[in-house]
Structure formats: C-alpha cells, structure tokens
C-alpha cells in the first residue's frame, strides 16, 4: 500500500475528528466521518481510534494508526480510500462555505481552518474601556452599571456564552491592549477557543474520578469566565495525575525488583548444577531488570554474574569466561564507589584481582598480573583503614601470589 494513501486516510480521519470535536461538522460530514471510522476500526487496536477522536492533533496517535494500517492487508485498506476522499471533500465544502460567509458579514472571524462569524456591536472599544474601569468580581456578582449589564447580555447571547465569561474576555482584550480594529476578530477567536476548551475538558477521560471531577469543575469555571479558578482546578488535577504516576512507578519498580530476585534465584539454581554459563545469563538478566534506584541490588547481581564466570573459567580452563568475568566486575565498581561504600568497592577490587591474576597466569606477558596486583593493593588499602583483619590477611595472600607470579614472569 502506498504510504501516501495511508497518510491521506489518517489525515482525513484526524481532520474529521478535529472538526467534529469543535461541533462544526454538518450532517453529510458526520455521515462521511462515521463511515470512515467504521472502516478504520477493523484494522486498529481497540480504543486507539477513540483516543484520536479526543486528541486529533496528536502526532503520536496519528503515527500509531499509520503503523497499524500499514501492517494491514493492502487490498482491504484500499477500500478506505474513497471514504477518506468523501470526508475530505465534505470538510472542504464546509470550510469554503464558512469562508464565503465570513467575508460577507461584518465581524467575520478566522480561527485556524474554520471560520466563524458574529454580528458583533460596533461599540466594542467602549465596552472594553468600561469593563477596565469596573470591579469585575462585583460586576459579575450583578452589581454595577445596568446599561453595561444589558449590553453584555446581548453580546453574550450572540456569542452563546455566559455574561461573566464575556466580561472576562473583554477584560483580557483590554489588558493585552488589543487594537480597536482587531477587537471583534480577537473576541470571536477567544470565544471559539473558550468553547472548544470547555468541550475538551468535559470529553477528556480518566480512570481517576477525582481528576474527572476537577476537570468538570474547571469547565464550570470556564463557563463563568473565571480563568484563574479553572487553572487552579486543572493544577489540582495535574497534581493527582503526577501522584498516581509516582505511585505506579513505585509499584512497577517493586515488581521489577521482584523479577530480578526471581532471576537471581534461577541463577543460583544453575550454579548449584554447575551450569555456570546459564547461571551467568540469569544473573546478567537480573542486573538489567533491577530499577535504576536499586544500585546495591544491581551490584550484587553483577558480582554473582562475574563470580560464576570466574568459576567456569577457573574450573574448566575457559579463558574467555575469565575475560567476561573481568568485564562484569568493572561496571560493578562504578556502582559501589570508594568514597561512598569503601568496603563494597574493596571487595569488588579483590574479586577483580583474582580474575585478572588467574587469567594473567595463563597468558604470556605481565599486563594482567600487573593489573591484578594494582587491584589487590587498592583493596588492601581500604581494608587496612577499616581495620578489617580477616580481609586484610586474605588480600595480602592474594597480592603476594600476584607479585610472585610477576617476579617469575620477569625472570627475577
């Protein structure tokens, strides 16, 4: 299927959703839109189409539908093309009609691709000035100049909005110093955006009834023109969502940690059967599964991975396993830095030294043995500072063995 054809289908669908959401789709347009939706629904996952209807400008949702349609039978998708063309034509016809009407009637307003017209009064600048000199809250409570109330009542009827909302819009126009010749256009634009925002707030879905209630309160505040209160309710709804995200992340992290522990137990099971390489796979997967916040758990799984690789290399003469053990120990060192957890860092250094010394003994040259001696010295320094006698004796023996091998290798 030609990608351009699928893009045209998704574009028509998104356009239909946008115009429908704004309440500007004719009966013929609705029929065309519903026909295309019925056809597309056969090829996309349940709920994806409804998500696009709620947020038709979402590039992510458009891409999701495009991907699903592209993976479908091209012959079946081809049947959607005439439906998409029909909807596109209906939207174009309605748009052309709106443009013609807007150019004929004073007060025509252009917003995006949809044109709206209102027979707005010529004294808008006077209304804006009057409201700027009036206590808005007192005025919205029914106090103040009755003549001004009467004028706003007529204007709110034309705009199909509450008087309080229109008063607030005129106040905004005054505060933003909109030029008098642009007041009618800007008021119409704000009015349409106000209506669309109110509709979207009421249409948005959420599993949390608290968020839904706050959005509805925001929509009610918008209807009365109280933008500050609407924003306060939306801020509270956002806080609820953020709290839920944090709680779900905590739950997800706990589940990841549990999965890592299960993988580690599988690793221990394979270690008990001397299946060292299989055990290493499980320990590596456990380290990768651990949440980023659980550094100690990841360190322990990496140590276990390196340990079984070391055992495999040492017991079966497999040098590649020793090299893999060395590779696993190095990121483990970064997870337990010396300045924060010196004993854990020193333990890792000692284990790394053992892997380096074993491989160095089998290889020619002195590089591995020199690295091993350096690792043992670093570990010994930390253990001595901590007074850890058991570890001091053990690391001293390891260091002595590495230095002996070095002297022999160097011929001394």
- Whether the predicted pLDDT of 306 surpasses 60: yes
**pLDDT for 369-379, tens place per residue?**
999 999 999 99
Mean pLDDT of 199-224: 81
- Whether the predicted pLDDT of 341 surpasses 50: yes
Question: Where do the DSSP E strands lie in 56-197?
Answer: 108-111, 114-117
The confidence score (pLDDT) of residue 100 equals 37
The confidence score (pLDDT) of residue 113 equals 39
Per-domain boundaries in the chain: 3-104, 112-205, 248-410
Residues in the chain: 412
Bridge partner residues of 109 (DSSP) = 116
CATH class for domain 248-410? Answer: mainly alpha
Rounded to an integer, what distance in angstroms lies between the CA atom of residue 155 and that of residue 125?
A: 13
- Whether the predicted pLDDT of 211 surpasses 50: yes
The confidence score (pLDDT) of residue 104 equals 38
- Whether the predicted pLDDT of 81 surpasses 70: yes
Closest-CA residue to 79 (of 189, 1, 21): 1
The confidence score (pLDDT) of residue 1 equals 45
**pLDDT for 190-200, tens place per residue?**
888 888 887 77
What does the mean pLDDT of the chain come to? 82
- Whether the predicted pLDDT of 20 surpasses 80: no
The confidence score (pLDDT) of residue 10 equals 84
The confidence score (pLDDT) of residue 111 equals 39
The predicted model scores a pTM of: 0.52
pLDDT-wise least confident of 12-16, 23-27, 192-196, 245-249:
23-27
Query: Reduced to 3 states, what is the DSSP secondary structure of residue 114?
Result: strand
**pLDDT for 28-55, tens place per residue?**
888 888 888 888 888 888 788 888 888 8
Higher per-residue confidence, 163 vs 123: 163
**pLDDT for 53-79, tens place per residue?**
888 877 777 878 887 887 777 777 778
Tell me how far the alpha carbon of residue 246 is from its chain's centroid.
13
135 pLDDT band (50/70/90 cuts)?
Answer: low
The confidence score (pLDDT) of residue 309 equals 96
**pLDDT for 95-134, tens place per residue?**
444 433 333 333 433 334 333 445 566 677 777 777 676 6
The confidence score (pLDDT) of residue 242 equals 87
Query: Reduced to 3 states, what is the DSSP secondary structure of residue 157?
Result: helix
DSSP element (H, E) containing 371 = helix 367-386
Give me 205's structure tokens. 């879905």
The confidence score (pLDDT) of residue 101 equals 39
Share of the chain above pLDDT 70, in %: 85
The confidence score (pLDDT) of residue 194 equals 83
303 backbone dihedrals φ, ψ, rounded to 5° = -60, -40
Closest-CA residue to 140 (of 229, 265, 63): 229
Mean pLDDT of 397-406: 95
């Amino acid at each position: 299927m030609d990608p351009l054809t699928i893009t045209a289908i998704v574009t028509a669908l998104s356009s239909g959703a946008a115009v429908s959401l704004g309440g500007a789709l004719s009966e013929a347009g609705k029929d065309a839109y519903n026909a295309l939706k019925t056809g597309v629904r056969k090829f996309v996952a349940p709920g994806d189409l409804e998500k696009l209807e709620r947020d038709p400008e979402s590039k992510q949702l458009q891409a999701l539908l495009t991907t699903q349609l592209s993976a479908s039978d091209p012959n079946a998708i081809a049947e959607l093309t005439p439906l998409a063309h029909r909807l596109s034509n209906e939207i174009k016809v309605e748009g052309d009609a709106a443009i013609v009407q807007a150019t004929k009637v004073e007060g025509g307003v252009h917003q995006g691709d949809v044109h709206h017209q209102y027979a707005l009064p010529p004294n808008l600048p006077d209304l804006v000035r009057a409201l700027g000199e009036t206590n808005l809250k007192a005025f919205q409570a029914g106090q103040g100049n009755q003549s001004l109330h009467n004028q706003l009542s007529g204007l709110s009827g034309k705009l199909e909005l509450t008087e309080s909302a229109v008063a607030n819009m005129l106040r905004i126009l005054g505060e933003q110093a909109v030029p008098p010749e642009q007041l009618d256009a800007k008021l119409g634009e704000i009015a349409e955006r106000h209506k669309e925002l109110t509709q979207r707030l009421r249409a948005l879905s959420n599993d949390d009834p608290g968020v839904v209630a706050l959005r509805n309160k925001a929509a009610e505040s918008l209807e009365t023109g109280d933008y500050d209160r609407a924003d306060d309710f939306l801020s509270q709804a956002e806080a609820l969502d953020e709290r839920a995200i944090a709680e779900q992340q905590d739950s997800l992290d706990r589940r990841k940690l549990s999965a890592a522990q299960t993988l580690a137990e599988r690793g221990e099971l394979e270690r008990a059967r001397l299946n060292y390489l299989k055990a290493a796979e499980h320990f590596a997967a456990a380290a990768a599964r651990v949440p980023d916040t659980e550094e100690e758990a990841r360190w322990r799984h990496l140590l276990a991975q390196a340990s079984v690789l070391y055992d495999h290399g040492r017991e079966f003469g497999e040098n590649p396993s020793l090299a893999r053990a060395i590779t696993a120990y190095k990121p483990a060192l970064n997870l337990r830095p010396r300045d924060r957890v010196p004993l854990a860092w020193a333990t890792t250094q000692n284990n790394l030294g053992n892997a380096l010394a074993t491989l160095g003994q089998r290889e020619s040259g002195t590089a591995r043995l020199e690295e091993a001696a350096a690792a043992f010295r670093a570990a010994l320094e930390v253990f001595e500072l901590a007074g850890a006698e058991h570890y001091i004796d053990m690391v001293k023996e390891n260091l002595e063995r590495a230095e002996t091998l070095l002297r022999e290798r160097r011929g001394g």
